[in-house]
Amino acid sequence: MQKLPKLQKFFLIGAIISLIVIYSGSAIKTTRATADNAVELTLVSYAVTENAYKNIIANFTKQWQEKTGQTVNFNQSYGGSGSQTRAVIDGLEADVVALALALDTKKIEEGGLIQPGWEQEFPNGSIVTKSVAALVKRDDTIAVSGWSDLANDGIQVVTANPKTSGGARWNFLALWGSVTQAGGSEQQATDFIGKVFQNVPLLPKDAREASEVFFNQDQGNVLINYENEVLLANQQGENLPYLVPTDYNISIDNPVAVVDENVDRHGNREVAEAFVQYLFTPEAQREFAKVGFRSVDSTVAQEFASQYPTINNLFTVEDLGGWDSIQSKFFEDGAIFDQILAQASKY
């Protein structure tokens, strides 16, 4: 990745102000402050949240300035959740992380940057948005009406790589749970997913890239993705047929956390915590809902209920053993996912 250019040094009344942005592994959008009362905040999130945060950040900065007189300048970085996690651990100085899954946030905690107990610091267990998995069809001739059809001949499935994408881990777990939560054995689930991945022609690095490969490069005839990403694509004119499996689906729970080590060093904890609290307000939750996320605010969820089908059997990460068990069982090197890929000859 290309580094951002360093800001040039300016001299004013003998004082030198030097602002240098250094990061690795992620593209970062920056705005910089020059006023004495300004504060800088860096948000690192996963790819498909960018459209929501555009308005949320604008609304928060306006309200914060009206309340405190202080200008907040945001740096924003969006990418695959796994890649973003590694970037933060390796030195991308996030003040707030809003990642695709709690497992990634826990890795940052294990790196010593977030204090234990972050789940209890904000409302709803720090889960700020929810979604489910959806299937997009190239056209109505594609004979897919549910999870099991993805293993059929003639189907080409586009899904991101679970090693780099939090969204793809959710996709994998949705496939797994569609078998095990319906009473099937783990061997049956492994065999089913193996057949699905024989139909996967490539593995994009994140959910946004998977959408681009499917929509813009015309690869594959079925896309597994977040429901919110599908709704957003339709808002932008794609209008391809899609379905949300309602027999069994997974609750895709997305957490947010303040990066304690960084905010204490940057001296911006107050505004960072205020921003995260703001994300749970009805105003911010409406912005998430507008781009397809299922709101964690009950009032907002009711307002947007018509755009979401009801899931008959909605299972969670805890139903599958929790993230620690899931990571070691499915996604560590040599675990079930790697074994399935090897058998499907997708290396």
CATH number at residue 90: 3.40.190.10
Q: Is residue 1 assigned to a domain?
A: no
Binning pLDDT at 50, 70 and 90, where does residue 91 land? very high
Predicted confidence (pLDDT) at residue 92 exceeds the cutoff of 70:
yes
pTM of the model: 0.83
CB atoms within 10 A of CB 160: 32
Predicted confidence (pLDDT) at residue 76 exceeds the cutoff of 80:
yes
Predicted confidence (pLDDT) at residue 20 exceeds the cutoff of 80:
no
Please give the angle made by the CA atoms of 208, 258 and 28, to the nearest 5 degrees: 40
317 vs 251: CA distance, rounded Å: 8
Phi, psi of 243, deg, nearest 5? -140, 150
Predicted confidence (pLDDT) at residue 5 exceeds the cutoff of 90:
no
Q: Are residues 158 and 233 in the same domain?
A: yes
Q: Is residue 4 assigned to a domain?
A: no
User: Looking at residue 163, what is its pLDDT?
Assistant: 85
Predicted confidence (pLDDT) at residue 57 exceeds the cutoff of 60:
yes
Q: Are residues 191 and 337 in the same domain?
A: yes
Domain count, the chain: 2
Element (H, E) at 340: helix 336-344
- For 293, the domain range is 10-130+252-307
Q: Are residues 230 and 123 in the same domain?
A: no
Q: Is residue 292 assigned to a domain?
A: yes
341 vs 347: CA distance, rounded Å: 7
Predicted confidence (pLDDT) at residue 29 exceeds the cutoff of 70:
no
Q: Are residues 159 and 215 in the same domain?
A: yes
pLDDT tens, position by position, 263-272 = 999 999 999 9
Q: Are residues 239 and 180 in the same domain?
A: yes
**Region 39-56 average pLDDT:** 94
**Region 235-239 average pLDDT:** 82
132 vs 227: CA distance, rounded Å: 6
**Region 235-240 average pLDDT:** 82
Return the closest-CA partner of residue 113 out of 165, 54, 166, 42. Answer: 42
Q: Are residues 61 and 98 in the same domain?
A: yes
Pair of tokens at residue 180: 């095990």
Name residue 277's amino acid: Q
Q: Is residue 222 assigned to a domain?
A: yes
Phi, psi of 141, deg, nearest 5? -80, -15
Phi, psi of 189, deg, nearest 5? -65, -45
86 vs 33: CA distance, rounded Å: 27
pLDDT tens, position by position, 134-156 = 999 999 999 999 999 999 999 99
Q: Are residues 209 and 330 in the same domain?
A: yes
What is the Rg, in whole angstroms, of the alpha carbon atoms belonging to the chain? 21
Q: Is residue 2 assigned to a domain?
A: no
Task: Using a pLDDT cut of 90, give the percent of the chain over it.
Answer: 75
User: Looking at residue 15, what is its pLDDT?
Assistant: 35
Task: Please state which of the ranges 32-46, 66-80, 180-194, 234-248 shows the lowest mean pLDDT.
Answer: 32-46
Burial 40-66 (b: 16+ CB within 10 A, else e): bbbbbbbbbbbbbbebbbeebbeebee
Binning pLDDT at 50, 70 and 90, where does residue 167 land? confident
Q: Are the beta carbons of 195 and 151 closer than 8 angstroms?
A: yes
Return the closest-CA partner of residue 174 out of 164, 160, 155, 153. Answer: 160
Please give the angle made by the CA atoms of 317, 261 and 164, to the nearest 5 degrees: 40
User: Looking at residue 12, what is its pLDDT?
Assistant: 33
Residue 105 gets which letter from DSSP? H
Q: Is residue 335 assigned to a domain?
A: yes
Binning pLDDT at 50, 70 and 90, where does residue 36 land? low
Predicted confidence (pLDDT) at residue 7 exceeds the cutoff of 70:
no
User: Looking at residue 18, what is its pLDDT?
Assistant: 33
**Region 61-90 average pLDDT:** 95
